[in-house]
Structure 1
Amino acid sequence: MSQFKKLLLQGASPEQLADHLDGLSHNGRLEAIEALQGNTMSVLYERAAGQHTDIEFFVPEEIPDGQPVVHHGVNSLPWPVGGTFRKPMVRAAPGLVYGYNDNDGIVSLVGWFTGPGYFTLRARGTESPDGRSDFDGQVFVNYYEQPGERPVQHWPDPKPSMNWSASLVFGDMCDYMWRVSKHVSVGAAFKRGKPMGAWFALIRQQES
């Protein structure tokens, strides 16, 4: 069992978890989060509750507009749909961040059918499009709203989330986020305002 998972299951505080992750390299953080499986991801989400973040956490202010930032992801879903993925994000304009899902494994093979799952990142205090009033003003990943065209030249073309094939996966969805450490966040997926019982963590790309 990884040291981070052990700390989590032993009831470590959010501050202790953050200190542990902040002391690791980028690869160390990846290994720590990838060691979490199934319901341990939900434990992390519950432990991080109340640890707010902002849009600048996902695309730092020092990153120029138009330059992508990659967040490496791990989700709680079982094989074959579970596993690792990436959420590249980009600031298209001040306060406006777009991103999409770049999946690994078998899920990547159906991307032509579902589309890349574009989203808009929405700041704290933004009204939720799925009618939730109990989400405590979290930053959220909004699949209801996506760019009309690809925001970065080499990114895939958007496929409307309300297109019937895309809606099977991304339609009527929002992911609500908490901060875990300087580079790590954790999210829970909701569809039409109802929890999907699916969680994931993101590790912002960092070389050290």
Structure 2
Amino acid sequence: MTQKRTLDLDKVLAKATELLEARGLNETTMPNLAKALGVRSQSLYHYVNNRSQLLSLVAASRVRVLYEDLIKQLVGLSGREALFKFADIVRDHLLKDKALSTLFYQLNEFSNDSDLIQEVKKILELGDKLQLASDETVSQHALVGAVLGYVFLDKLMEDQESPEEAEQNYHDMIWRLVGTGEQAISDPA
């Protein structure tokens, strides 16, 4: 009797995410993934065309989770409060989701029509909608760039700042971008 295959795209993406978090981007290869799944490398090509598509799909699935969280948490907020909350949610997700933060810093490696880039565009469109409710516009590039840059700094300076200091410094920076020049506060949301 032959053994029934139970491999599907969701399992491939879940294992790739685990591999990415545990061993890093360089070790997340098709042969390593196949070994972790207990299949031959060729079996993976039934689900993805190549490593780039695999990584794009992994990141896109994580960005969808972020997008859903943004939608839930931004309901009823507008203006600067919504922009501040938007930045906080994105930062929190990137700090908690090692696979996503790793792949976000590799965005330039993905084509504009990749699944990842399409999902990131949805996040940016959501940020643009928040702008419509605000009486002052804040550059989406500045806001997203600041959040991504600060996530990088959070990881780089883990040993030099307490979590409380990092949080306060982050909020001060975001408040300068979205605030009205008012004094930054610990928990503006």
Tell me the TM-score normalised to structure 2 length: 0.32
Higher strand share: 1
